[in-house]
Amino acid sequence: MTEIIHDALHIVVALVLPPLLLGVIARTKAVFAGRKGPPLLQPYYELAKLFQKGSVLSTTTTWVFLAGPVVGLVTAGVASLLIPLGGTGAPISFNGDMILLAYLLGMGRFFTASAALDTGSPFEGMGAAREVTFACLAEPALFLGLLVLTRVSGSLSLAGMLGGSLASHWSTAGASLALVLLSWLIVLLAENSRIPFDDPNTHLELTMIHEVMVLDHSGPAFGMILYGAALKLFVFGALIVRLVFPAATGSPWVDWPLFTAEMLAVAVVIGVVESTMARLRLTHVPILLVAACLLSGFGMILLVR
């Protein structure tokens, strides 16, 4: 019965919390800019408004255009069930589930890029090409970081890698884990179209990467895209939180509020980064992603004795 309650809390937190992270990021950026900023719950209002609107579909599109938002949302939702939250295990856990995590994120990216290509728009095709090109550099950094955790924890499941036992390994393999942390922070910013890689608020198609792929979506489809993006941010944020704060008290009344506070702290960090850094030129983006791969690679090298 306790396990069922924990799984239910896991699902509720994974479904409810992601839009709040976007609200915290926007409010943090507003504070740095000296403005009041939008309400923290503004992302929820926007999602509710989008799901009540109608959709405009181009006559040149096929079922792929509609499948992109759905697959992106579903894959991000399933990925959130693979990561342990709140000091407990994950609802879905087995040896090798880290590979499923990477493939779920890759599948969501594939269908989003395919939906962009399905419109026949040259701008969206350009964004899709950039997306898959930079993903080829971001995915190795994620995989290498997971391999470091596999070596440190001796487990092949995310629940074991990011479990409470990881806290004791910070004293013996702290350098490797710190390198993985820096690498995953870079991957988080790149995969979620955050500055310095992309600006989710820009409307200049020539410089956009992620946002340009969804210019033709509207109504509920666009709402699913925004909610799926928030879920994806939640997944990467949860990986970082469990890497830095893997310890748990064993009490759900403490662990779940603590996890929520840690996730909000990650959102604040993202807001600070976006407020203090400028967007990179497109030619410099691969350099930073390669650096993320090297950080995780050096983390693995430090573990080889």
Number of H helices, E strands in the chain: 12, 0
Residue pointed to by tokens 């896991």: 10
pLDDT given for residue 104 in this prediction? 95
Residue by residue, pLDDT tens for the chain (305 residues) are 477 888 888 999 999 999 999 999 999 999 998 888 889 999 999 999 999 998 888 888 899 999 999 999 999 999 999 999 887 788 998 998 999 999 999 999 999 999 989 988 888 888 888 888 888 889 999 999 999 999 998 888 998 898 878 888 888 888 999 999 999 999 999 888 888 887 766 655 555 677 778 888 889 999 999 999 999 999 999 999 999 988 777 777 788 899 999 999 999 999 999 888 888 887 888 899 999 999 999 999 998 76
Taking the alpha carbons of 230, 236, 240, 241 in that order, is the dihedral positive or negative? positive
What is the spatial distance between Cα 241 and Cα 188, in angstroms, rounded to a whole number? 12
* Cα 24 from Cα 42, distance rounded (Å): 10
Where do the domains of the chain lie?
Answer: 2-303
What was the pLDDT predicted at 121?
82
Distance of alpha carbon 46 from alpha carbon 41, whole angstroms: 9
What is the structure's pLDDT at 293? 94
